[in-house]
């Protein structure tokens, strides 16, 4: 995978949020699970999408599947 793996750009917190959202969890669920506000999750989501170069939840899920984070 090396340096061409966009997931390496994410902080550990961003990666955790990315994984939960890619699993299909709602922003509210993620916020509750991680004990942070929904606004914080939404801000992370925006940052994650920018860093990974994706624009939709579907693209995010495809990326997660491609990298073996979730099962298709």
What's the CATH code of the domain at 19? 1.10.10.10
CB neighbourhood size of 22 (10 A): 19
Residue 71: inside a domain: no
Asked if the structure places residue 72 within a domain, the reply is: no
pLDDT of residue 45: 96
Over the chain (72 residues), the average pLDDT of each successive run of 10 is: 76 96 96 98 97 94 93 77
Q: Total structural domains in the chain?
A: 1
Q: Is residue 13 part of a domain?
A: yes
pLDDT computed for residue 4 by the predictor: 72
DSSP 67: T
Name residue, tokens 């990666």: 15
Query: Which distant-in-sequence residues (6+ apart) come within 8 Å of 57 by Cβ?
Result: 21
């Amino acid at each position: 995978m090396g340096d061409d793996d966009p997931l390496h750009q994410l902080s550990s917190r961003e990666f955790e949020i990315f994984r939960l959202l890619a699993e299909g969890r709602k922003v509210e669920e993620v916020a509750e699970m991680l004990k942070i506000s929904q606004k914080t999750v939404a801000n992370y989501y925006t940052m994650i999408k920018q860093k990974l170069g994706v624009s939709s939840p579907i693209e995010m899920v495809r990326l997660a599947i491609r990298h073996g984070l979730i099962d298709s």
